[in-house]
Amino acid sequence: MDRLRRDDGFTMVEVLVAILIVSIGAMATFTLLSSATRNAHRAKASQVALEYAEQEMERLRSMEWDQLALKGAPQYESSPANPNNRVRNGEFALTREPVGNYETLVFNGDPVWGQPEKKIEGAEVSPGPSPFTNGDVSGKVYRYIAWRNDDTCGSECPGPQDYKQIVIAVKLNTRANETGERGYFEVVSNFVDPEDSAKNDPTAGPEGKVVTAQQFFLTDTSCTAAGTMASSTIHQTIAASHLLHNTRGTCAAGTKTGSTPGAPDALMLGLPPDPDPEDPAIPAQYDYANDSYLDTSPDTGTGVQIKRDDTSGCHSQPTGTSFPESQIHRWVTDKMTETFVMKEKVTLEVYTKSLNNRSAEGRICVFLFKRHGETEDTPITNLETGAAYWTWWPEKNADWPQAWTKVRLTMKFTPTSYEIPVNDRLGVAISVERGHTGDEALSFMYDHPDYPSRLEIVTSTPIGG
């Protein structure tokens, strides 16, 4: 009877404690297994990333010298975990941390050092990001090619295009069970072409200076008062259509629209960036002048629409009193940090078309000028006519192009060696001549990777290569 009265077995508290102990042990085991699984996947993913980077490096190293150039410009990203965080106005920081040692990227269409009439052609390298998938590992590949100068070869290599440095970065996608943004892996290699080295300098200017070419790209970013060629204005990403920039004022005035004079747009180094080189529909073509009085009917205008002046002839200051800000558009460089010497000619390459693809004649006036301080503009004189402007119209008085068309205007000036002093700016302006233009306005596209409108300048003092 005593045995029957004993309460042998587990109490409820003991059962709960046992369950808790088993649960803690199981959780620890599962945590260790999960952590081991994650670590194994990260190790596998890291190996895949490095293999992709090395494969890309070998592919690029096998290319011909002229092919080894970027077909477009990478887009700056604000996140330090993205390699495009090291992109700046057509340059790339070769030092990862702290970010620095910026070098000029190699682009299709860049002038060849020492040969101002020759351009790099046949580029085969997309900057990316190019997506890839390998099993359960996915990510993006970024490619950069930068010009480098060989300081060790002295006077035999006077230019900055002695060799090209390749950087391949691979950024893995963050998985659903991971927190935070993943970083990236990179491999770096030099590619040297002895035959195309700058030591084969075919043209030397006065005093032994190499004569080459410098490009400034027309942008939709307003110039800044503090911008210099050593600390340049930062290119702004175009996110939407917007009102016309009134470019009739000073850089210190900032961006203005409507009738208030504001900063000219900037002439900048480096191609317009392409946020997604793999998708031709990105970026979109935006309207840089969607003011109601500039809207076309139907409203299909993109780029900027410049209205013809109120009177015939070329006028650096519009003669119209109604919306004169729409009758001329100006761009200026940042302040020169050393005297910039222009030699003989400047070529404007710009993309243009008629409004709504209509058939009509057209003529534009182009002005080059030097800006001293904020307001003092000195026109540069046309060598052939003595005027302070140049004109362009289609051959044989044909109608203005009805689809986006690249036109080139070569401007020879006097004196044939013209200097832009330290702290001064070079500027260009475009207006539409009334007497030979049949429509109310003409459209111009720039600051787009497919339409890189630019100034090409023969110079003995190139900036940044």
- Mean pLDDT score of the chain: 85
Judge whether residue 377 has pLDDT over 90.
yes
Report angle CA 18, 20, 25 to the nearest 5 degrees.
100
Give the model's confidence band at 232: pLDDT under 50 very low, under 70 low, under 90 confident, else very high: confident
Amino acid 203: pLDDT: 44
Is the pLDDT at 347 greater than 60, yes or no? yes
Distant-in-sequence, close-in-space partners of 414: CB < 8 Å, separation ≥ 6 = 381, 382, 383
* Per-residue confidence (pLDDT) for residue 160, from 0 to 100: 72
Higher pLDDT, 283 or 297: 283
293 close to 238: Cβ distance less than 8 angstroms:
no
Cβ neighbours, 10 Å, residue 321: 7
**Is it the case that residue 198 has pLDDT exceeding 50?**
no
The pLDDT value recorded for residue 86 is 94
Cβ 90 vs Cβ 233: under 8 Å = no
Q: Cis omega before residue 74 (within 30°)?
A: no
Reported as type and span, the H/E element at residue 349 is strand 340-354
Predicted pLDDT of residue 190: 66
Q: What is the CA radius of gyration of the chain?
A: 29
Residue with tokens 């558009």: 329
Q: Which stretch of 14-23, 101-110, 377-386 has the lowest confidence by average pLDDT?
A: 14-23
Q: Are 344 and 458 in contact (CB under 8 A)?
A: yes
Of 34-43, 115-124, 293-302, where does mean pLDDT reach its minimum? 34-43
More confident residue, 455 or 160: 455
pTM of the full structure? 0.75
Would strands 273-274 and 73-74 be described as parallel, antiparallel, or unpaired? parallel
Residue 397, by phi and psi: left (phi above 0), alpha (psi -120 to 50) or beta?
left
* Alpha-carbon dihedral sign for residues 402, 404, 408, 411: positive
Looking at residue 63, its pLDDT comes to 81
The stretch 20-36 carries a mean pLDDT of 67
Amino acid 320: pLDDT: 87
Q: In this structure, are residues 214 and 462 in contact, taking their beta carbons and an 8 Å threshold?
A: yes
pLDDT band at 191; cut points 50, 70, 90: low
Q: Which domains does the chain have, with CATH numbers?
A: 50-196 (no CATH), 206-459 (2.60.120.260)
Amino acid identity for residue 89 in this structure:
N
Please give the Cα distance from 235 to 337 (Å, whole number): 19
Instruction: Check residue 330 and give its pLDDT.
Output: 98
Lowest-pLDDT range, 125-134, 195-204, 218-227? 195-204
Q: pLDDT tens digits for 85-96?
A: 999 888 999 988
Model confidence at 465, pLDDT cuts 50, 70, 90, reads very low
Contact 379, 367 (CB under 8 A): yes
The confidence score (pLDDT) of residue 206 equals 44
- Arithmetic mean of pLDDT, 385-392: 97
Q: Is the pLDDT of residue 235 over 70?
A: yes
Looking at mean pLDDT, say which of 7-21, 28-42, 250-264, 282-296 comes out highest. Answer: 250-264
Q: What is the DSSP letter of 452?
A: -
pLDDT bucket at 253, cuts 50 / 70 / 90: very high
Cis peptide before 194 (omega within 30 of 0): no
- In the structure, what pLDDT confidence band is assigned to residue 27 with cuts at 50, 70 and 90? confident
At 196 the pLDDT is: 44
Listed residue (120, 205, 202, 117) closest to 164, CA to CA: 120
Confidence label for 349 from pLDDT (cuts 50, 70 and 90): very high
Handedness of CA 197, 199, 200, 206 (dihedral sign): positive
Phi (first) and psi of residue 372, to 5 degrees: -105, 130
Query: What are 186's strand-pairing partners?
Result: 169
